[in-house]
A and B are shown apart, each in its own frame.
Chain A
Amino acid sequence: QLQLQESGPGLVRPSETLSLTCTVSGDSISSSSYYWGWIRQPPGKGLEWIGAVFHSGDTQYNPSLKSRVTISVDRSKNQFSLKLTSVTAADTAVYFCARENVAGLDYWGQGTLVTVSS
């Protein structure tokens, strides 16, 4: 059974960099033909697609965040990561990692709340 688990700091200071990692178990990122993505949800609000990475390292980003986002993959650890720079309170959200196939987001992590505050 495929499982995804987000990890990283729950509190980030304004203007600093948010860094999260998603560990995949039950499947190899390298052997699959999927994109691996990040989605966020501010408290009480809707879902926002941040971007995704293929095991080759190919990335796709939401243009609204592209200047601040980097998504990378570590095949040796079966992980992929999100970095979001210059964060503000508007970046406070639950961050989900998920598997993207040609039919949508079919497996999700449990999500992790990241609060931006001094």
Chain B
Amino acid sequence: DTQMTQSPSSLSASVGDRVTITCRTSQGINNYLAWYEQKPGKVPRLLIYSASALQSGVPPRFSGSGSGTDFTLTISSLQPEDAAIYYCQKYNSVPRTFGPGTKVEIK
């Protein structure tokens, strides 16, 4: 199976900061990668698909990039409502594994 890692596992940043989260896969997955946001006690929400495409309704401060084995999720200007855990997921093949998550806190 393809292994998924995310870094950092957690971060604390101030409102307005630029935040970058990295997802790496042990095998190439082209651009078959999605990013999700999960707020405490809530359902995960799809933010980014195909590594860089913004899901409808998601604020443009979120962006994704990468291909192959290295991917990033960037929040250009962190907002208080962005406090959440962010997961990447590969969906090129079975199993459609999630990364371990990155917890984003607001200072």
Contacts and interface: CB of A to CB of B under 8 A. Distances in A.
Interface stretch (A14-22, A70-78, A83-91, A100-108): A100-108
B50 interface: yes
B67 to A, nearest CB: 15
Given A46-B87, A63-B1, A105 B97 contact: no
A37 B50 CA distance: 19
Interface residues of A, number: 21
B74 to A, nearest CB: 18
Given A96-B43, A106-B55, A60 B94 contact: yes
A49 B94 CA distance: 9
A29 to B, nearest CB: 19
**A contacts with B: majority SS:** strand
Contacts of B101: 46-47
Interface residues of B, number: 23
Contacts of B100: 46
B15 interface: no
B97 to A, nearest CB: 6
Interface in A87-118: 96, 100, 103-106, 108-111
Interface string B86-106: 010101001111111100000
Contacts of B38: 47
B103 to A, nearest CB: 11
B71 interface: no
A109 B43 contact: yes
Contacts of A105: 34, 36, 44, 46, 89
Contacts of B97: 49
A104 B91 contact: yes
A104 B34 CA distance: 6
A22 B7 CA distance: 34
A104 B94 contact: no
18 contacts: A37-B96, A46-B87, A46-B101, A47-B36, A47-B38, A48-B98, A49-B89, A49-B96, A49-B98, A52-B96, A63-B1, A64-B95, A100-B96, A103-B46, A104-B91, A105-B46, A108-B45, A109-B43
What are the 8 A-B residue pairs with the smallest beta carbon separation, nearest first? A104-B34, A103-B49, A62-B95, A47-B98, A49-B96, A108-B43, A104-B49, A60-B94
